[in-house]
Structure 1
Amino acid sequence: MAPDALVVGAGPAGLMAADRLLAAGCSVLLAEAKPSPARKLLMAGKSGLNVTKDETLDAFISNYYEASDWLRPMLEAFGPAHVQDWMRAQGQKVFTGSSGRVFPKSMKASPLLRHWLADLRARGLDLRTRWRWRGGGHFDTPDGPMTVTPEATVLAMGGASWARLGSDGAWAGILREVGVEPAPFRPANMGFRVDWSEPMARYFGEPLKGVALIAGDRSLRAEAVISARGLEGGGIYALSRSLRDGAGLFVDLFPDLSAEALTDRIARRPARESAANRLRKLGLAGGRLALVQEFLRPLPADPRDAAQALKRLPVPLSGPRPMDEAISTAGGIRRADLTDELMLRALPGTFAAGEMLDWEAPTGGYLLTACLATGRWAGDGAVRFIASRSG
């Protein structure tokens, strides 16, 4: 087979790269290892597909940490406003939630994916499933080994989380054989293990509300979920980078009160009142009360000490959940191994995009936007490469 372009991986980055190549008039073969495309996108859409975040571009780009500078041109070319326009062009009305997160009206990924795939196929996309990449243009397929000889290739096989959905990171070993050494994978946007005592079992599945979560110099008003495995949920994911890198986790159980105001409230409680009743009278219940009973026994007798402890309750963590459970991963192909067009320096004509690249970001629309933006950028780079060869 000799299409103009080969795209490996049918997630958002690969689909966007194929979209750009087709728009330029290239013939495109899109190879996907799983039986159907975009499985991780569909899983993300089960709880509401957060496509991007409506905020200033500078604020948006700052969420990519060390990769902000080199991703900037790609996000300027296809950032939050572009994603929303593109969604509408795909027949998906969007709305912005109170936090600035942008969702399709349907809240699901499936209508978007159906429309997008139908459009790509109508424009000539050759989608092959159950094709597993073995390096170069070589694949294991249901019909046996296959070799594709394209003018340009875009690799978009994801990171190393949720292997059952297609992102297993196996490509890293293949690239090492040709002299590309990816940065080690690390989990991102994940829960953390906590070694609970037996009495905590009654609180498993309970949300932890009305708190501020603290890690390093960051304090965040957000929810978490107490689970048999530890702590999970949006607030934990937002701090996961700091927690993964060694910061301790603290919980402010009274974020709306200053330490002085809480001290005064505690001091006004009857001296003979039991600690359990005192905590309940202060307004602690459910998961918040459970954390105190788990990690702050006995409650300090001095009102000021008790207030400070309740404003900064330490929660000992036993490390992150396994990488395959993480929403995303850090690590991947390093910036130094790529040209400005996302072409691998060691493999002229081969480009990379999406979570294969060494960047990370929090949840909230940043992950999907960067996958789309880098897929678009790599696809355009492949178009120019093909044009240079034919010229």
Structure 2
Amino acid sequence: EEVLTAGEGKPIKNIHVSAGGQVAIGELMLTRYGLEGGAIYQLGTALRGMEQPAIAIDFKPTFTREQLVVKMESVRRDFLKEATVRWKLGEPAVAILSRGTYQDAESLAREVKHCVIPLTGPRPIDEAISSAGGVRWSELDADLMVKKLPGLFVAGEMIDWEAPTGGYLMQGCFASATRAAEAAAGRLV
């Protein structure tokens, strides 16, 4: 909880987040209840497939571990404090990294490049901005009508598909709604 409080409401930008063999590029936000953000949303399918969901964050994807260590050559103590300046680590990243103790620049660089965070579960569905699941594509015809229920059309998040939140999701919903509405209107004439 101390970690969440220290970095709450501040984004961790320009990171790579991985889970289940997939990598997402984007950002995360520390909140009072955990992590959220585009990078987590992109990994939803991978995380749901994991027995014990966890993510690995690369806080400095444009640098190798070796390059980070070189930037700390003269440092002999207070590695995390020095890395905040030399590696330009933001406050939320430092809050997460402060969970560990680092005997040298190498151990800190390893954690910065591959910081594993176990996840306990998603927030309640009534707080979701988007969800997964829905009617399978195989159950729909080309006009987005449910094959087993002629005259019933579905669109957007009623269909089992996932898209990044925001504009892409909205565009997909609008496009599928247009397709379904035109087909439904055509059946009325």
Against the structure 1 CA distance between its residues 357 and 274, is the aligned structure 2 distance closer, same or farther, given a 3 Å change threshold? closer
1:286 and 2:91 are equivalent in the alignment: yes
Instruction: Write out aligned runs for 1:283-362 (5 A).
Output: 283-294=88-99, 297-299=100-102, 301-362=103-164
1-side partners of 2:114 and 2:157: how far apart? 35
Contact 1:244 1:319 in 2 (8 A): no
Greater alpha carbon shift after TM alignment, 323-332 vs 235-244: 235-244
Q: Among residues 13, 24, 27, which one is paired with 1:223 in the alignment?
A: 27
Partner of 1:255: 61
Unaligned runs of at least 5 residues, structure 2: none
Q: CA RMSD in A?
A: 2.4
Against the structure 1 CA distance between its residues 347 and 285, is the aligned structure 2 distance closer, same or farther, given a 3 Å change threshold? closer
Against the structure 1 CA distance between its residues 356 and 281, is the aligned structure 2 distance closer, same or farther, given a 3 Å change threshold? closer
| Partner SS state of residue 380, structure 1 | helix
2-side partners of 1:200 and 1:383: how far apart? 51
- The Cα shift of 1:279 comes to 3.0
Greater RCO (Cα-Cα under 8 Å, separation 6 or more): 1
- The Cα shift of 1:243 comes to 2.7
1-side partners of 2:58 and 2:185: how far apart? 52
What code does the residue aligned with 2:129 have? I
| Paired residues, number | 186
- The Cα shift of 1:263 comes to 2.2
- The Cα shift of 1:340 comes to 2.5
Partner of 1:47: none
Instruction: Write out aligned runs for 1:267-286 (5 A).
Output: 268-271=73-76, 273-282=77-86, 283-286=88-91
Cα offsets for 1:297-317 (capped at 9, x unmatched): 211x35434322221111221
What code does the residue aligned with 2:98 have? Q
What code does the residue aligned with 1:319 have? G
Instruction: Write out aligned runs for 1:36-51 (5 A).
Output: none
Larger Rg: 1
Unaligned runs of at least 5 residues, structure 1: 1-195
1-side partners of 2:67 and 2:83: how far apart? 15
TM-score, normalization: structure 1? 0.43
| Partner SS state of residue 153, structure 2 | strand
1-side partners of 2:16 and 2:57: how far apart? 6
Seq. identity, %: 35
- The Cα shift of 1:328 comes to 1.5
Contact 1:208 1:223 in 2 (8 A): yes
Contact 2:4 2:31 in 1 (8 A): no
Cα offsets for 1:161-217 (capped at 9, x unmatched): xxxxxxxxxxxxxxxxxxxxxxxxxxxxxxxxxxx3x35423221222343323333
